[in-house]
Structure 1
Amino acid sequence: MTNILFKKPSLPSWVLMALTIPALAACSTAQPIGGVGTALPPPSESLGEPDEGQPDISLDLMKRMTQRLAADDFEGRAPSTATEPKVLDYIVSEFKAAGLQPGANGKWLQPVPTVEITNSNQSALRVTGIGSPMSFSFGDQWVGASYRVTPSTKLEDSQLVFVGYGIVAPELGWNDYAGIDMKGKTAIILVNDPDYAMEGEDGLFKGRRMTYYGRWTYKFEEAARQGAAGALIVHDTFPAAYGWNVVNSSWTGSQYYVQTPNNAMDQTRVNGWVQKDVAEKILRAAGKDLASLTKAAQTKNFTPVPLDLKASLSFDNAIRKSNSHNVVGILPGKTRPDEYVLYTAHWDHLGRCTPDASGDDICNGAVDNATGVAALAALAKANVEAGAPARSQVFLAVTLEESGLLGSEYYAQNPLYPLDQTVGGVNIDALAPGGRARDYAMIGGDKSDLNDLFSEALNTRGLIAAPEASPEKGGYYRSDHFSLAKRGVPMFNFGRGIDLAAGGKAAGKAASADYTANRYHQPGDEFSTSWDWSGIMQDMELFYALGRELADSDGWPNWRQSDEFRAIRDRSCAAPDGC
C-alpha cells in the first residue's frame, strides 16, 4: 500500500497545475551564486530552437517501450515480485541497445534491500504526571510506527517536551531545540514551518511555499539527531494540506524502509501523529495553551517547553525483508569522466490493485511511470548518437518510488558515483499524453542555479515560465530527485503546464482532470495507440537540452544562498575531490 504522505499525493506536476491556475509570471532570472568552483556559463546554442543543434529523439522507441512496460504480463511492475526479473531484463536490454554501459560496478543492477514493518496490538497513548491520567486511542486520536527493525516497540514514562516546529536551521539562525537534552524524551512538534500562513514567499521560511523544514520526514529525522525517544507531530488540516483521514490511512498499514546496517537503531523508538485536539488537551493539562505556544514558536527566540508530563505507548512489529533493484547505465564522459550528471525515473508501479468496474485489477502505470523509463532509454540513445559529452551521464531507473522513494534513497545512501562529484540531474516522472504547451513550471520554485538554465531554455523556445501551483504542499519533496537534493545535489524537477497550444487552459485542465479521475493509480492508466505524443516530445527536448548542458558545462550549480540544501552542497564541494 502506498504511503501517500511520503509518495506524491499531489499527483504529477501537470495535474497539479490544473488544480490551481495562477496568473502566469516569469521565473527568477537572478544570476547564479558562485562559491563552488566556476559559475555556470550562459546556456549554449544547444538550448536554442529544438530543431537546431539537437539530435532526433526516437518517438518510436518511446512508444514501443511505454507499451511494453505497461503490458498486462508485467502485472503493474510491482517490486520484489515474480515479475520483477522480467521487467529488469527488458529495461537492461533497452539500455544496452541505446549504447549504454553497465553502471553498477560493471553490472546493470544495484540491489536495494528493504524492510517492511507492520505493527499490531497498538496500545493507547497514555499521558500521566499532572491531574488525572489521559488515554488516547490508536487510529482516531494518534497513529505511529517505528523505523527500528525490532519485534516490539515500547515507550515508557517518556517526558514530553513541546519543541515548536522542531527545526534546526543554522543558516537562518534558528534552533527549536536550543538548551535542552532530548535523550529519552518525546518531542511534540507542530506541522509545516513557521510562516506557512503567509500569502507570498517573503518569509524567513519562504512564506507560503513549504521548505524541507516543514516536511514531516525532516521533523522525525531531526528529532532522532537530537536523541529523542519519540516524536509526535500535531496534525492541523490547513498547514498539513491534508486531513486526518490521510494520516490515518498512511500510518495504520505496512511501512517500508531501506535496510540499514544498524537496523535503524539510531532513529527514535516511535514516530507518530496526534490530532490537534489531543495536543490541546495534553498542553492544557500542563497548564499551557497550544495557540499561545504556536505563536511563540513562530519567532527566533522560542525555546523548548518541558511539560512535566510523561507519555507511554507500545505495539508489536511484524518484519519482512526483501530485495528489489535499481537499473544503472552509464555513458562515460570524453574529457571529465569522473564528473557525473544523472537522469532518474522510477520503473515500479502498484502491481495488482483494486479492480475497476470491468474487473481489471492490474495498475499498468503507463503514464506513471512507463513513460519516464522509456524517456531514459530514448535520451540515452540520443546522447550516444550525438557523441559522449564532456562529463559522464548516468541513467538510473529506480525502484520502490511508490513505497516511499526507497530506490533513489538507497542510491543516495550508497552512491555508485560520489555525490560530491555529481554535478546535478534531471528527474522524469509521469509524462502526460497530449498536445504541446505554452508554459512550464519548475517544481520547488527558485531553489538553485538550475533555475537560470531552465528560464533560458524556456525563453529560447518562446515558452512561458509559470509559477508552481500549490507550493504550500511541498511537491518538490515527494519524488525521486529529492533523495539526491537533500544530500546537496541540485536536481531539475519541472512539468509541462496546462496552457496548451491547441485548446488553451480549458483543454489542459480537462485532460488533467480526466487523468486524475480515471487513470491516476488506477487500472485505467494503460497505453493507448491513440495517444497524442507531441507534448511528451516537447518535454523530451527540454530534458535532453538541460541534461546535455550540465554534461558539457564546466560549471557546478549550487543552491541559492538561503536554500535549506546550500550548506550541505558547500561542505560537499569543500572535500578534497569535491566539485
Structure 2
Amino acid sequence: MKKAYLALALAPLLLAGCSKPGTEQANDSKTAEAEQQVKTNFDTVYDSISAETLKKHTKTLASDEFEGRLPTTKGEELTIDYLTKHFKEFGLKPGNGDSYLQPVELLEITASGNEVLQIGSQTLQYKENMVVGTKREQEKVSLDNSELVFVGYGVNAPEYDWNDYEGVDVKGKTVVILVNDPGFENPEGDKFQGKTMTYYGRWTYKYEEASRQGAAGAIIVHETAPASYGWSVVANSWSGPQYSMVTDNGAADRVAVEGWISLNAAQKLFDEAGMDFAEMKQQAIAGPTAVPLEGLTASVEVSSELERSTSYNVIATLPGATKPDEHIIYTAHWDHLGKDESLEDDQIYNGAHDNATGTSALLTMAEAFSKLEPRQDRSMTFLAVTAEEQGLLGAKYYASNPVIPIEQTVANLNMDAMNILGRTKDVAVVGKGKSELEEYLAKAAERQGRHLVEEGRPEAGYYYRSDHFAFAKQGVPALYAEGGETPIDEATAEYRKRMNVIVQGCYHQVCDRFRDSWDFGGVVEDTQLFFDVGVHVANAEQWPDWKASSEFQRQK
C-alpha cells in the first residue's frame, strides 16, 4: 500500500521530467493562476461575512415570536423551521439520511415549585435559598430524615490521588458538596490544575459521582466566585421544566434528590452542627474530606409532572470534493429557557446573546461555505443542537448516537455566546493547550493581526460547559474560542465597559434581549476566524490531534 502511494506521489515528478522544454514554466503558471483564483475566492467569501447578516439571524431567533426557544414548544418548531429553511436555501444536503433533523428523546420533569427543604432546623424555600429536583422518572421522590454527610468537593479522582468518599459510607444518605474543585482556592499550589477548573468541578460530575456512591440526595453549596455565576442563575436555570435523556431504567441509578442551597443557608447548617463552614472548607481544600453533620438530617418531597417528548438536533452537510466521508462539524445550541408565566412583566427568556448569536454564526458559516469554490476536500457539517441549557443533552445524545461515525469526524468547532463587546486584539482560547486546532486558530488570528491568549476565567470551567465537550469526551479534537479582553481601540473600550455590565447581568435573565446598539464587529471577526480554521482543516493532509497534556485522546 505504501509503495503504491509513493508511486502515485512521484508520478507528477516523473512526468515533469519527461516534459518538453518550456512545459514546466507553462504548468507552473497555470498552477499559480489556479492558486491565486482559490485565494481570491476565499478572500471574497471571507469578506462577505457581515454584521448585517449576523444581526438579522440573531434578531429573528431572539424575537418574542420564538418564545425563548425552549425545547418541545412552539419556540422549537419556529426555530427548527427557520434553520432547515436556510440550510436548504444555501444548498446544503440533509445531514441525517434524507432528513435535516435528528430526534432526541427527552424526559421533561417539572417540579411543582412548592417544595420545602427541611435541613437541620432550617426551612428553606424553593428559589429563595434552595432549589431541588430529580432526574428519576417518578412523580414523587423524597428524602425522609436523611442523614447529612459533608464530602468536601465530592471528588473521586485517582489520577490526582484524591477521594472525598474514601472511608465513608454514604449509601442512603445526603451528601453536602462544595462547588468547583480544590484547585480554585489554591491557584498557585499543586492541587488539580490550579485555578483552571477540571471536570471534577462541574455540578454535573458531582451529582454523577454521588449517584455512583449510592447517596440518596446530593446538595451543592452555592458560592458566586467558584460557581462563576450568582444565585439567580441557579434559581432560574433549575426552576421550570427540566430535561434529561430517556433511559432504560428510568434513571433509578441517580440520587433521588439533586439540589443547591445558598451560602448563607450552608453557614447556618454548619453552625448547627458545631462546625465553622470556612474552617471546614479549608480542610476540604487541603485534602480529601468526609465528615458527618452529626444529628442533622434533610427532608423534602419533590412532586413532578413527567412528560416524554421529542426534541430535535438540526444537521446539514456540504459534501467534500475528495474526502466526503471525513467531516468537520460546526456546532451551536439553538435552545434557551423559554417563558416563565409567573413573572409579572417580561416573561420571555429571549436568549439573544446565549445563544442566538452562536446559532446566527452557524447559519452564516454554512452560507459562506456554500459560496466557496472550489469545494473543500472534506465535508463541512453544521449541527444545531437542542437542550444545551438542560445539561448539554442534544450534544450528548448526538455523541452517543452519531449520525457521522466518530472515527470519521475530524474536528469540532463550537460557537456559544459570541463576542458582542466589540473587536479585540486578542482571541481567548477556552481550555488553552488542549489540541492542535489551536495552531490553525493562531494562524487565522495572525491574519487578522490578533494573537491567542488564555481565557480570562479558567476557574469557571467553560471548556466543560458547552457542546464541544461531548465531542471531546469521544476523542474528537474540539475547539472553543471567543474574542479576548483587549479592545481594538479606545472607543470600543468605552463601549465594552458599558455593555459588559448588561451582558453579565443578563446571563440567563429575561433581559438577554437583542439590542440594535450591539457592536457586531467582534462577532464578524470571530465568525471569519472560525471560517478560516475550518477551510484549512478541511484541506489539510493530516488530521489535527490532541496535545499530549490533554485529558482527551482518540481511541486507537
Would you say 1:448 and 2:440 are equivalent positions? no
Tell me whether 1:56 sits opposite 2:45 in the alignment.
yes
Q: How does 1:223-302 map to 2 (within 5 A)?
A: 223-244=210-231, 246-276=233-263, 279=266, 290-300=277-287, 302=288
Which stretch of structure 1 is more off in the superposition, 265-274 or 230-239? 230-239
What do residues 401-425 of structure 1 show as CA deviations (whole Å, max 9, x unaligned)?
3444333233234322233543331
Within 5 Å, which residues of 2 pair with 1:203-242? 203-242=190-229
Amino acid at match of 1:213: Y
Aligned to 1:545: 532
Q: Which deviates the most, 542-551 or 471-480?
A: 471-480
Is the contact between residue 434 and residue 532 of structure 1 (CA under 8 Å) also seen in structure 2? yes
1:358-387, CA deviations, whole angstroms, 9 ceiling, x for partnerless residues? Answer: x88766555544443333233223334334
Decide whether the 8 Å contact of 1:80 with 1:324 is kept in 2.
yes
Q: Is the 8 A contact 2:337 2:349 kept in 1?
A: yes
**1:378 equivalent among 364, 372, 377:** 364
CA distance in 2, matches of 1:559, 1:332: 29
Residue 396 (structure 1) shift: 0.6
Q: Is it true that 1:96 corresponds to 2:67 in the alignment?
A: no
Aligned to 2:14: none
Letter in 2 for 1:183: K
Matched, 1:555 2:537: no
Hey, what does 2:328 align to over in structure 1?
341
Q: Distance in 2 between matches of 1:86 and 1:481?
A: 25
Secondary structure at 1:298 match in 2: helix
Question: SS state of the match for residue 155, structure 1?
Answer: strand
Q: Going by fraction, where is helix more abundant, 1 or 2?
A: 2
- Asked whether 1:536 is paired with 2:518, we answer no
* Paired residues for 1:115-514 under 5 Å: 115-120=107-112, 122-125=115-118, 134=121, 136-139=123-126, 142-199=130-187, 203-244=190-231, 246-276=233-263, 279=266, 290-300=277-287, 302=288, 304-306=290-292, 309=295, 311-350=298-337, 365=351, 367-384=353-370, 385-432=372-419, 436-497=423-484, 498-501=486-489, 503-513=491-501
Matches of 1:288 and 1:355 in 2, distance apart? 39
Identity among equivalent positions (%) equals: 42
Deviates more, 1:284-293 or 1:258-267: 284-293
TM-score normalised by the chain length of structure 1: 0.75
Moved more, 345-354 or 310-319: 345-354
Q: What is the aligned length?
A: 511
Q: Distance in 2 between matches of 1:166 and 1:281?
A: 20
- Letter matched to residue 84 of structure 1: E
Paired with 1:72 and 1:249, the residues of 2 have a C-alpha distance of 19
Deviation at 1:69, TM superposition (A): 3.9
Q: Which amino acid aligns with 1:100?
A: L
Using the alignment, how far apart are the partners of 2:265 and 2:60 within structure 1?
50
Q: Which amino acid aligns with 2:101?
A: L
Cα deviation, residue 281, structure 1: 5.9
Helix, strand or coil at the partner of 2:259: strand
Work out which structure has the larger RCO, using CA pairs closer than 8 Å and 6 or more positions apart in sequence: 1
RMSD after superposition = 3.8
Equivalent position of 1:112 in the other structure: 104
| Aligned mates of 2:64, 2:301 — CA distance in 1 | 42
Note the residue ranges of structure 2 that are not aligned, 5 or more in a row.
Answer: 1-34
Counterpart of 1:125, as a letter, is Q
Residue 346 of structure 1 deviates from its aligned partner by 2.3
Within 1, Cα distance between the matches of 2:302 and 2:268? Answer: 23
State the AA in 1 paired with 2:359: V
Find the aligned partners of 2:224 and 2:105 in 1 and give their Cα distance.
35
**Unaligned regions of 5+ residues in structure 1, if any?**
1-45, 128-133, 575-579
Q: Cα offset for 1:437?
A: 2.8
Name the aligned partner's letter for residue 527 of structure 2. M
Deviation at 1:104, TM superposition (A): 1.7
Give CA-to-partner distance per residue, 1:176-217, whole Å, 9 cap, x none: 2234454323322222211212355x6432222322211222
**Tell me, what secondary structure is at the counterpart of 1:386?**
coil
Contact 2:237 2:508 in 1 (8 A): no
Letter in 2 for 1:376: L
Paired residue type of 1:262:
N
In structure 2, give the amino acid aligned to 1:149.
E
TM-score scaled by structure 2? 0.78
The code of the aligned residue for 1:56 comes to V
- Equivalents in 2 of 1:88, 1:295: separation in Å? 48
Query: SS at the partner of 1:493?
Result: strand
- Which residue number in structure 2 is paired with residue 7 of structure 1? none
